[in-house]
């Protein structure tokens, strides 16, 4: 009986995983269970453990988990690990785990268009990885051997996207490329429109998050989508505070300053919709009542736009709803009743005639006000 079989027979929690699908074990045990489940071809257990292990992904173990996912071909776990790597790329490149990944895992990482980092830094970390690999296999860390151990991963380093100065100072004087390969990159940098057969990718990396800006005061955008994207929500202009004119109704002049609660401003809520004309998709977005609008408001549903040569047309519409702080309104109402004096709000209603329930559930006002929406934020979907 091998070590794995002994581990299997002696671990009660793992037996529970096998017979009940109840995975309640730590990170290290999950890794071991995945190894055993793969050995015995227990696909359902692999899926469960992969889902659980994805919850443990951190900067210090993301590369190890991705390595595991690539080795055992766990697609969902690989996807989750790649998302984390893309979101924390600068930290990931500095971890010891990055130096220990396989060349296949390195290819997976480098292949991502959303691995958004300085390409020169990516190049240097790959060369550092190659030097470490050379030492591990007792190979002289020459430029030729570094490229040899990098294998196909070298082609995923986007050397043509470097500036001419960066390429000349950091790559051209090495022996990583042949004279012909280097000459082609120089030709491409000199005239990008030329059809040159380059070995390295020329596609610039993209940030995970980007914003489609609204043109002026328009609420309609024509947007070209060269790759799949996921719409996340709308961006709001913080320089516009359209409720200032409603902050102090006339009835406040009748109430002594020391009677005013600390928070006596209006509460505001945003409610709107986003429409994709070409697909008929219609999604909403809204906030609860707040004292100030946030920078970003999420869509209530996920919207994925597929790559398309023709532009998409995105149309936005929104309303602001205004309400006073309920405790403040109730206080004004009680003062009005007690002293038998009118306490009208800014819309002319007598506050003291309203019940507490009406105060709670009545939006005092709503109006169209489009110009505070500045754009739509989206996420570039990984090409891996």
Give the pairing of strands 220-225 and 365-368. Answer: unpaired
Tell me the HSE value of 73 on the side-chain side, using a 13 A CA sphere: 4
53 neighbors 30 (Cβ within 8 angstroms): yes
- Please give the backbone phi and psi of residue 212, each rounded to the nearest 5 degrees, phi first: -90, 110
Task: Note the pLDDT of residue 83.
Answer: 95
CATH 3.30.710 fits 3-152, yes or no: yes
Task: Note the pLDDT of residue 354.
Answer: 60
Per-block average pLDDT, block size 10, for the chain (384 residues)?
A: 42 56 75 90 90 96 98 97 97 97 98 97 98 97 98 97 96 96 95 90 94 87 93 86 46 47 59 94 90 90 94 92 64 67 56 58 54 90 90
pTM for this entry: 0.77
Task: Note the pLDDT of residue 269.
Answer: 81
308 neighbors 225 (Cβ within 8 angstroms): yes
Q: Which residue reads 């209530």 in tokens?
A: 300
Task: Note the pLDDT of residue 215.
Answer: 86
Task: Note the pLDDT of residue 349.
Answer: 57
Task: Note the pLDDT of residue 331.
Answer: 66
Closest to 281 measured CA to CA, from 310, 306, 252: 306
Burial of 106 (0-12, 13-18, 19+ CB in 10 A): buried
- Cα(116)–Cα(174) distance, rounded to whole angstroms? 25
Domain parsing of the chain, residue ranges: 3-152, 209-380
């Amino acid at each position: 009986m091998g070590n794995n079989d002994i581990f299997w027979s002696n671990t009660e929690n793992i037996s529970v995983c096998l017979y009940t699908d109840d995975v309640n074990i730590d990170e290290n045990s999950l890794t071991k269970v995945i190894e055993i489940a793969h050995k015995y071809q227990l696909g359902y257990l692999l899926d469960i453990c992969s889902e659980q292990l994805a919850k443990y992904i951190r900067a210090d173990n993301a590369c190890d988990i991705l390595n595991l996912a690539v080795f055992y071909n766990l697609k969902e776990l690989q996807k989750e690990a790649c998302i984390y790597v893309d979101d924390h790329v600068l930290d990931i490149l500095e971890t010891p785990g990055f130096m220990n990944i396989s060349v296949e895992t390195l290819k997976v990482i480098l292949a991502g268009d959303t691995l958004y980092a300085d390409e020169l830094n990516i190049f240097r970390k790959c060369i550092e990885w190659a030097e470490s690999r050379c030492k591990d296999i007792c190979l002289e860390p020459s430029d030729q051997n570094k490229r040899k151990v990098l294998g196909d991963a070298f082609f995923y380093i986007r050397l043509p996207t470097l500036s001419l100065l960066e390429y000349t100072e950091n790559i051209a004087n090495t022996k990583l490329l042949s004279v012909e390969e280097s000459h082609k990159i120089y030709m491409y940098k000199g005239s990008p429109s030329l059809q040159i057969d380059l070995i390295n990718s020329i596609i610039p990396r993209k940030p995970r998050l980007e914003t489609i800006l609204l043109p002026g005061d328009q609420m309609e955008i024509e947007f070209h989508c060269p790759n799949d994207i996921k719409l996340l929500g709308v961006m709001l202009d913080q320089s516009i505070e359209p409720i200032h004119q409603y902050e102090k109704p006339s009835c406040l002049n009748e109430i002594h300053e020391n009677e005013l609660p600390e928070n006596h401003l209006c509460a505001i809520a945003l409610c709107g919709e986003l429409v994709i004309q070409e697909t008929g998709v219609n999604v909403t977005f809204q906030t609860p009542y707040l004292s100030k609008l946030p920078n970003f408001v999420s869509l209530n549903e996920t919207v994925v736009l597929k790559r398309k040569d023709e532009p998409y047309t995105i149309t936005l519409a929104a309303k602001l709803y205004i309400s006073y702080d309920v405790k403040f309104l109730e206080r004004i109402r009680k003062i009005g009743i007690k002293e038998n004096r009118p306490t009208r709000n800014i819309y002319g209603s007598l506050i003291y005639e309203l019940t507490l329930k009406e105060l709670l559930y009545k939006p005092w006002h709503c109006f169209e006000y489009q110009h505070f929406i500045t754009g739509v934020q989206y996420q570039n979907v990984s090409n891996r």
